[in-house]
Amino acid sequence: MSARPSFFSELQRRNVLRAGVLYAGAVWALAQGIAQLGPFFAAPEWTVRWFVIAAIVGFPFWVAFAWFYEFTPRGLKRESEIAPDDSIAHSTGRRLDKWIIAVLVVAVVLLLTNTFVWRKGAGLASDSVPAGIPAKSIAVLPFEDLSPAHDHGYFSAGMAEELLNALARVQDLKVAGRASSFYYGGRNADLRTIGKALHVANVLEGSVRSQGDAVRISVQLVRTRDGFEVWSQSYDGNLSNIFDLQERIARAITDHLKIVLTGSEQARLVPVATTSAEAYADFVTAQELVNRRTGDSLPRAIALLQQATALDPKFARAWSKLAVAYAVLSQYTGNDWKTSWRVSDDAAHHALTLDPGAAEAYAALSYNQFSQRHYVEMVEPMQHALELAPDNSAVNYWASNELAAMGRTRDAEVRIDAALANDPANPLLLFYKSMLLWREGDQAGALAYIHRGGVADSAFGALMLEFYDAAHGDLAGSARQFADSTSKMGTKISAADLQAIYRGTYGDAAQHQTALKILATHLDDDWTPTMLLQLDEPKRSFDLYEHGHSGLSDAYLNWLWQPEPWSRTARQAPAFQGFARRIGMVDYWKSQGWPDLCNPAPSAGAEAFVCQ
């Protein structure tokens, strides 16, 4: 009786091993082909990943098939049904050898093509990214919070912003703005979509795990073209050496992007902002809250920043951020304007004493002057801010805001366009671009910008949709949009009354009188002067704004340059001449440039002008 063949011998006889090698080679070749050709057909980045996963799942079934079945001249049959003398497994094995060699040759050719043709030189070279996107470009997505209680989300996002700021200091690296990067990071967007929208070749993803003083930061540098992970690393430390961790990460990124650091970049990318670990943790969380603005974000941020500056009175960045928080506090919470201006100015001056290069502090000083109607005085600090941080989105937004409010629409749009080139999904920038296009009569363009970057779902988006709906006859819809947007911007007037006020703008005489009666009970509301403009009551509006104490300069003055008839009536009203002169607008125009819709009229007086 012959000995029973071993399991390994049986695997060889049935060509199972050859079948396995053929399967693996075919999967390898196909995966490379899909990876190389997928981008040309806009295939999702997960295509290769799921193909490989499916192939792994299918491998046991293929092996089982090779074990139980054999190809014969009469077709496919179960191996148990074939007499040993009739088996052609040996000749099948020779054919499989030829197939294996052919598949491996194809795989090697694809590998060499990918290495020396598609990605000549290096995977991050300029010819490995879509046209128009610089190879040395990156977006930093918000980091995931992996802390045990998942209660350090603001800190995790803040750490990502800190790395973004560090990388933005590198001259040869294009870094997408914070608002745009964080917008896409929160939506699980396809990497190719992110790369195209933000014009970047790479993204930095990561997570932060913090417990007590201990911190672990894990980061991955990923190509947007194909989702390839270029590099990943985890860094362990604590809050006391957090700046060193950030420095190591930032330098590792520049190394992998093949960027040569020059000048001051060689010394340090991440300056040591404070010697207090606790103060820094408070600051990182607070800056995320300041960016949010709405709800209780600003009061919470201010509490953290006050704590940070108490722990380290020399923490200049915390003082600058405190100045920004107080500069916008009254607009969102109804806090006393004069108190906010005083505290904001004090914090800004303190920051500049510690760091004369604090651009945010200069921007806050300018915005405070603007809110206090010191229009000539707002120019110099804003110029300093722009010189120090020409690519800073917040600085550019405030600069554009001031230009637009003074009627210099074209100049404001140039500034907005420059900022959008670096931060293309920033909702505030998109809103302002939409508003400026609306002023210029480009309704389609204005609507297109509102539907980008999630702006349509914000209070700013509702504000612009209100104008669009009204222009197209949907007065009920525009009234709802007006109430929805204005109620989130500091007014104390109820939503129902806001809709009634809005109907007075476009309705009959009775609705107009109803609106005026409602506003008569809210003369101290910051938004009442603006609503009087919409109700075609320019003189009453000018008087109330001039003698009131509202710091809402931007929301009010921007309404003077709209294309709607009530706005044209206001700027052509005789009362506008004296109003603009008394609050300082004419002095600003004479020194900085006249608004697009107005020109001086010296024949009528030294400070007279005429508006379209």
Instruction: Judge whether residue 288 has pLDDT over 90.
Output: no
Instruction: Judge whether residue 107 has pLDDT over 80.
Output: no
Average pLDDT over residues 510-523: 96
Spatial separation of the C-alpha atoms in residues 13 and 22, rounded to whole Å: 16
Spatial separation of the C-alpha atoms in residues 544 and 550, rounded to whole Å: 10
**pLDDT above 90 as % of the chain:** 45
Instruction: Judge whether residue 123 has pLDDT over 50.
Output: no
Q: Which pLDDT score, from 0 to 100, does residue 57 have?
A: 87
Write b or e for each residue in 370-382: b if 16 or more Cβ atoms lie within 10 A of its Cβ, otherwise e: bbbbbbebbbebb
CB 243 within 8 A of CB 270: yes
Q: Which pLDDT score, from 0 to 100, does residue 119 have?
A: 43
Q: Give the residues across from 598 on adjacent strands.
A: 611
Average pLDDT over residues 342-359: 97
pLDDT tens string 429-444 = 999 999 999 999 999 9
- Name the phi and psi angles at 414, rounded to 5: -60, -45
Q: What is the mean pLDDT of the chain?
A: 85
Q: Which pLDDT score, from 0 to 100, does residue 335 have?
A: 85
The domain defined by 273-389 folds into: 1.25.40
| Nearest by Cα to 525 from 554, 497, 493 | 493
Query: Bigger pLDDT: 53 or 38?
Result: 53
Instruction: Judge whether residue 392 has pLDDT over 90.
Output: no
Query: Bigger pLDDT: 81 or 537?
Result: 537
Kindly indicate the confidence band of residue 502, based on its pLDDT and cuts at 50, 70 and 90.
Answer: very high
Query: Bigger pLDDT: 171 or 310?
Result: 310
| Domain ranges in the chain with CATH number 3.40.50.10070 | 127-272
Would you give the DSSP letter of residue 604?
G
Q: Which pLDDT score, from 0 to 100, does residue 579 have?
A: 97
The domain defined by 127-272 folds into: Rossmann fold (3.40.50)
Kindly indicate the confidence band of residue 39, based on its pLDDT and cuts at 50, 70 and 90.
Answer: low
Would you give the DSSP letter of residue 80?
G
Average pLDDT over residues 48-66: 82
| Domain ranges in the chain with CATH number 1.25.40.10 | 273-389
Average pLDDT over residues 152-172: 85
Q: Which pLDDT score, from 0 to 100, does residue 81 have?
A: 60
Average pLDDT over residues 321-344: 92
Spatial separation of the C-alpha atoms in residues 391 and 404, rounded to whole Å: 19
Average pLDDT over residues 567-580: 96
| Nearest by Cα to 157 from 192, 189, 181, 187 | 181
pLDDT tens string 397-409 = 999 999 999 999 9
Full-model pTM: 0.72
